[in-house]
Amino acid sequence: MAQIEFSEEQSMLLDTAADFCRKQAPIAVVRESIDTTEGIQPEVWQEMGALGWLGIIIPEEYGGLGLGLGDVVPIVESMGRHLMSSPYVATVLAARALVTSGSEEQKQAWLPKIAEGVAASVALSEADGSWELDQVEATVNEEGQSLVLSGDKCFVLDAPMAEVIVVSANLAGEARLVLVEKAQLQPESLTREVVIDETRRSYKLTLDGITVPSSNLLPDADFKALQQAALLMLSAEISGGLVGVLHVIVEYLNTRKAFDRLIGSYQALKHPTVDILLSLEGARSHLYHAATMLAQGNAEEFETALHMAKAHGSEAFAYAGDRAVQFHGGFGFTYECDAQLYLRRALWCQYQFGDERYHRQLLAPLLLD
């Protein structure tokens, strides 16, 4: 039987994060921040650091809380509920890379800073769209005591705020991870991308001309740990996004009238709304089951649960976003309708690190062999 455990720490974090995101990311603020470079006020980001959120997965000896990756889930879920934009997910992924693959010197140099509020990011994706993180075309070559990088990375989130970016690159035929600090970037290195989710700040990173010290090469490259962390946080965003879009739907169904009746009284709208609610419950169950398996150290069950969470959530959120737009009628297709913001977020999450078909293909041997 599938296990779902909700720890005391997760419960406290969920309550705190839900209240924080509700106050700091009302929909008006989300819309206002779309055209900004940072997307979050510096004082809000520092408050997140003061709450200890940036140090959750960082060991205590480096200034963190020493908790597990599963304890990040309630925070990311709350952010997804309110479409809150921040470098949080990117920073957690960078910290994860350092914890699993960094040297002692690299950990000492960066993990305490991240725990205190320094933003970071990761550059793992390339233009070919491969979801296999160790299939890398960008290159890094050793020249004396330096590393020379070349190639392009895409979907680098919140890059201008990041003091360090963990970049995947091919070194002598092997995929490796390299730290690129903000001061080492060229003026033309970052170009903002136009992506479906306008609440994101996604950048293309041009590596040509960037040189870093050899000490910036991480000794290991645990791409599996990075991918699992990304999938868990994406699944949390999806779960939160489902809550948010369902709220938008129900509010409209209980407000809009047609033929002197609230449109929520019509079965053609009630039944899909119930389907969305059931999908939400399924998405949360898969998500917290995966978090439970991770906390228990059950690697095999965690991998299975993670693929299930991403596959189910991707499909459910995309369906919910589509229905939300349709239920709003002609207004739903306008930029002023909040439903389209959730649909945009759903489509982004659906295709990051593998869509539902991809993860079901990976599930097949795990469940059937």
**CATH, range 223-368:** 1.20.140.10
Give the amino acid at 55: G
Q: pLDDT tens across 307-350, in order?
A: 999 999 999 999 999 999 999 998 998 989 999 999 999 999 99
Q: Is the pLDDT of residue 369 over 80?
A: no
Q: pLDDT tens across 199-233, in order?
A: 999 999 999 999 999 999 999 999 999 999 999 99
Q: Return the structure tokens found at 105.
A: 């010197």
- CA 185 – CA 109 distance, rounded (Å): 19
pLDDT (mean) for 270-291 = 96
**DSSP summary character for residue 254:** T
Q: pLDDT tens across 174-196, in order?
A: 999 999 999 999 889 999 999 99
Distance from chain centroid for Cα 67: 19
Q: Is the pLDDT of residue 198 over 90?
A: yes
Task: Give the pLDDT of residue 2.
Answer: 66
User: Could you give the C-alpha distances from 63 to 89, 116, 246, 262, in angstroms and in order?
Assistant: 19, 8, 38, 54
Model confidence band, residue 258 (pLDDT cutoffs 50, 70, 90): confident
Short-list 191, 199, 233, CA closest to 94? 233
Top-confidence residue, 93 or 10: 93
Q: Does domain 8-118 have CATH number 1.10.540.10?
A: yes
Domain coordinates in residue numbering, the chain: 8-118, 122-216, 223-368
Burial (CB count within 10 angstroms: exposed 0-12, middle 13-18, buried 19+), residue 198: buried
Top-confidence residue, 14 or 250: 250
* Mean pLDDT over each residue of the chain, to the nearest integer: 94
pLDDT (mean) for 119-125 = 97
Model confidence band, residue 1 (pLDDT cutoffs 50, 70, 90): very low
CB 4 within 8 A of CB 285: yes
**CATH, range 122-216:** 2.40.110.10
Indicate if the alpha-carbon torsion angle 291, 293, 295, 298 is positive or negative.
negative
Model pTM? 0.95
Task: Give the pLDDT of residue 12.
Answer: 86
Short-list 126, 109, 123, 107, CA closest to 185? 123
Task: Give the pLDDT of residue 368.
Answer: 87
Beta-strand pair 146-150/210-213:
antiparallel
Q: Is the pLDDT of residue 4 over 90?
A: no
Q: Is the pLDDT of residue 272 over 50?
A: yes
Q: Is the pLDDT of residue 10 over 90?
A: no
Q: pLDDT tens across 138-159, in order?
A: 999 999 999 999 999 999 999 9
Query: Which residues does 219 contact at the CB level (< 8 Å), separation at least 6?
Result: 101, 102, 103
